[in-house]
């Protein structure tokens, strides 16, 4: 058993389900804020799963704190080709006879924008779980109490490439676990809201077929059209999907996206272009380094620093006099990653920077270079007869 899921078993009761089926239900947001109750949740009463849970299209019926629910994991489709982005929906249906609340959010401010309350595991049939992608440090996020009306559904769309990358065709089991801190939709329930609850695991199976270049080209064209369309929500989702596709045919669409006014789409385009070694990809990054928005230019500087193109470093150095101090700091960090003997002169030149933050980092790096040079000198003296 995977360590992450073992930890969930240790934390509380665990339920399982298996489901595949229709399209995800759109999300409904709530402006209310949640408040965690430090007291442990009451032990839930659990009904036995129905025999149908062994089939591909089944859900699991559970009882949490006396409220009957159905939990399932619904793939967008049952079959995908390799390299095609996969979306799943974690779904909770309310069969309790009363309106309920469920906590959501507060877990997505990280490098991937991934909702980390959902513990997703992707495993090939008969194999081991795929490596989990790191989302870096977490900075929380806005949390809310989502409505779960009687007879209605709570849904959360999950973008699987944010958890792991599938690199081979085959049949895969997707496992998703999250705590269900269900509460009544009453004034008391809203006031004394419990975030903690039993961990509920849902499962689904998907089949991944070999990549069809023609079909992939059609998909890229469709996503590119949405990326440049007027509907901003569709554009963001298309950008997320296309960023997960490793195909040079996406580059032309990303370059067009950089010339739009879409703020989020520009960020997606910059990050995607840094993955490619081609000259058109580098030309796109050159374009964004003159954007009037400081955040766009800073993202561009980070992309150039991590770009696979051999000339990206030289382009980054042209931003050393940018008006935004954080960008100049990014250039300094890139210089400091190179051997001191290659960049010492350029680092010293930045002592004249007007930002005390940049100058402080320059002095720190100079001390490191001087210490390294001193160590080399001592080793040289010890080597003399």
DSSP letters along 147-160, please? Answer: EE-TT-EEEEEEEG
Tell me, what's the pLDDT at 58? 57
pTM to 2 decimals? Answer: 0.75
pLDDT of residue 39 exceeding 80, the answer is no
Q: State the Cα angle at 211 between 207 and 217, rounded to 5°.
A: 125
Statement to judge: residues 129 and 8 lie in one domain: yes
pLDDT in tens, 375-385: 555 445 444 44
Q: What's the total number of domains in the chain? A: 3
Tell me, what's the pLDDT at 199? 87
The whole-chain average pLDDT of the chain stands at 83
Tell me, what's the pLDDT at 161? 96
Tell me, what's the pLDDT at 376? 55
pLDDT of residue 56 exceeding 60, the answer is no
Question: What confidence tier does 95 reach under pLDDT thresholds 50, 70, 90?
Answer: very high
The last residue of one of the domains, among 209, 232, 265, is 209
Question: What confidence tier does 111 reach under pLDDT thresholds 50, 70, 90?
Answer: confident
Statement to judge: residues 126 and 260 lie in one domain: no
Compare 263 and 253 and report the one with higher pLDDT. 253
Q: Give residue 382's domain range.
A: 320-385
Statement to judge: residues 231 and 200 lie in one domain: no
Looking at the domain assignment, is residue 302 inside a domain? Answer: no
The β-bridge partners of 174 are: 122, 204
Tell me, what's the pLDDT at 6? 34
Question: What confidence tier does 32 reach under pLDDT thresholds 50, 70, 90?
Answer: very low
Tell me, what's the pLDDT at 71? 93
pLDDT of residue 36 exceeding 80, the answer is no
Statement to judge: residues 252 and 358 lie in one domain: no
pLDDT of residue 55 exceeding 50, the answer is no
Looking at the domain assignment, is residue 324 inside a domain? Answer: yes
Tell me, what's the pLDDT at 191? 76
Say if residues 273 and 285 touch (Cβ distance below 8 Å): yes
Statement to judge: residues 82 and 203 lie in one domain: yes
Statement to judge: residues 197 and 222 lie in one domain: no
Average pLDDT of the segment spanning 266-288: 94
Tell me, what's the pLDDT at 16? 37
CB-based burial, 232-265: b 16+ in 10 Å, e otherwise? eeebbbbbbbbbbbeeeebbebbbebbeeebeeb
Statement to judge: residues 181 and 129 lie in one domain: yes
Instruction: For residue 6, give both structure tokens.
Output: 């073992």
Looking at the domain assignment, is residue 310 inside a domain? Answer: no
Question: What confidence tier does 25 reach under pLDDT thresholds 50, 70, 90?
Answer: very low
Say if residues 147 and 28 touch (Cβ distance below 8 Å): yes
Statement to judge: residues 162 and 27 lie in one domain: yes
Statement to judge: residues 65 and 170 lie in one domain: yes
Average pLDDT of the segment spanning 259-275: 89
- Residue 161: CB atoms within 10 Å: 21
pLDDT in tens, 167-222: 999 999 999 999 888 889 988 888 777 667 888 889 999 999 999 999 999 999 99
Tell me, what's the pLDDT at 15? 37
pLDDT in tens, 331-348: 999 999 999 889 999 999
Looking at the domain assignment, is residue 303 inside a domain? Answer: no
Looking at the domain assignment, is residue 304 inside a domain? Answer: no
Looking at the domain assignment, is residue 248 inside a domain? Answer: yes
Q: Is 271 exposed, middle or buried (0-12, 13-18, 19+ CB in 10 A)?
A: middle
Looking at the domain assignment, is residue 309 inside a domain? Answer: no
pLDDT of residue 3 exceeding 70, the answer is no
Q: How large a percentage of the chain has pLDDT more than 70?
A: 81
DSSP string, 40-77: PPPPPP-PPPPGGGGSTT--EEEEETTEEEEEEEEES-
CATH number of the domain to which 49 belongs: 2.60.40.2360
Statement to judge: residues 102 and 178 lie in one domain: yes
Q: How far apart are CA 204 and CA 88, in angstroms?
A: 9
pLDDT of residue 243 exceeding 50, the answer is yes
Looking at the domain assignment, is residue 311 inside a domain? Answer: no
Statement to judge: residues 42 and 70 lie in one domain: yes
Question: What confidence tier does 158 reach under pLDDT thresholds 50, 70, 90?
Answer: very high
Statement to judge: residues 113 and 172 lie in one domain: yes
The last residue of one of the domains, among 183, 209, 235, is 209
Average pLDDT of the segment spanning 291-308: 94
pLDDT of residue 52 exceeding 50, the answer is no
The last residue of one of the domains, among 209, 235, 258, is 209
């Amino acid at each position: 058993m995977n360590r992450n899921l073992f930890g969930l078993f240790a934390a509380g009761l665990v339920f399982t389900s298996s489901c595949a089926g229709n399209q995800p239900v759109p999300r409904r947001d709530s402006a209310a804020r949640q408040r965690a109750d430090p007291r442990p949740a009451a032990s839930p009463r659990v009904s036995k799963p129905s025999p149908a849970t062994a089939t591909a299209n089944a859900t699991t019926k559970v009882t949490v704190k006396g409220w009957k629910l159905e939990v399932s994991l619904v793939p967008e489709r049952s079959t995908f080709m390799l390299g095609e982005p996969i979306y799943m929906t974690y779904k909770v249906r309310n069969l309790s006879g009363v309106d309920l609340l469920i906590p959501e959010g507060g877990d997505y401010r990280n490098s991937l924008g991934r909702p980390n309350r959902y513990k997703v595991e992707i495993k090939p049939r008969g194999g081991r779980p795929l490596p989990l992608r790191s989302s870096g440090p977490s900075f929380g996020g806005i949390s809310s109490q989502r409505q779960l009306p009687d007879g209605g559904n709570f849904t959360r769309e999950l973008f699987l490439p944010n958890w792991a990358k599938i690199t081979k065709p085959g049949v895969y089991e997707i496992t998703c676990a999250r705590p269900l801190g269900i509460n009544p939709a009453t004034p008391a329930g809203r006031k004394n809201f419990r975030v903690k609850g039993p961990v509920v695991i849902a499962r689904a199976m998907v089949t991944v077929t070999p990549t069809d270049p023609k079909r992939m080209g059609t998909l890229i064209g469709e996503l590119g059209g949405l990326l440049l369309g007027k509907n901003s929500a569709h554009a963001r989702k298309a950008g997320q999907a296309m960023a997960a596709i490793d195909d040079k045919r996406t580059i032309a669409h990303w370059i067009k996206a950089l010339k739009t006014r879409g703020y989020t789409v520009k960020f997606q385009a910059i990050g995607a272009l840094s993955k490619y070694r081609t000259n058109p990809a580098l030309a796109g990054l050159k374009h964004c380094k003159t954007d009037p928005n400081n955040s766009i230019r800073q993202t561009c500087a980070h992309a150039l620093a991590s770009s696979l193109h051999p000339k990206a470093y030289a382009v980054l150095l042209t931003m050393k006099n940018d008006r935004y101090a954080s960008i100049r700091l990014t250039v300094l960090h890139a210089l400091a990653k190179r051997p001191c003997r290659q960049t010492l002169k350029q680092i010293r030149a930045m002592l004249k920077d007007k930002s005390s933050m940049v100058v402080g980092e320059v002095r720190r790096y100079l001390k490191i270079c001087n210490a390294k040079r001193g160590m080399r000198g001592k080793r040289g003296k010890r080597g003399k007869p």
